[in-house]
Structures are given as C-alpha cells and as structure tokens.
Amino acid sequence: MKSSIRDKAEGAAHEIKGALKQAAGKLCDNTKLQVEGACEKAAGKAQEKVGEFKKVLGK
C-alpha cells in the first residue's frame, strides 16, 4: 500500500476514534476524555493532510 493512502486511512480512523471519545466524554461528563478525543481527532486530520501532501509529491 502506498504511503499516502495509508496515511489518509490511518488519519480517518483516528478522526473517527477521536470523535467517539469526544462523544463518550460528553455523555459521561468526563472533560479529560473529551480533550483526548479532540486531540486525537486533530491528529487524525493532520495525518490525512500529510497523506494528501505525499500524494501531490508522488510518494
């Protein structure tokens, strides 16, 4: 699998996982879990952007 595709897929998975953590944190009124979810979601978006950048470069 190409590196760019892998980065995009892993990034999307982290975004989903982060969104789920955020929702669980809100549901349980757990601020720490909400923050962890937001961080993981942001990291997933960044990883997807890295994948897009690699695709443009052809890697």
- What's residue 58's pLDDT? 81
Where would I find the beta strands (DSSP E) of 1-59? Answer: none
* Domain locations in the chain as residue ranges: 3-57
SS3 2: coil
pLDDT in tens, 24-45: 999 999 999 999 999 999 999 9
Separation CA 9–CA 19 (nearest Å) = 15
Contacts of residue 29, Cβ cutoff 8 Å, sequence gap at least 6: none
Separation CA 31–CA 52 (nearest Å) = 32
State the CB neighbour count (10 A cutoff) for residue 3. 12
Confidence of residue 59 (pLDDT cuts 50, 70, 90): low
**pTM for the full predicted model:** 0.83
pLDDT value at 1 more than 90: no
| Section 50-56 average pLDDT | 89
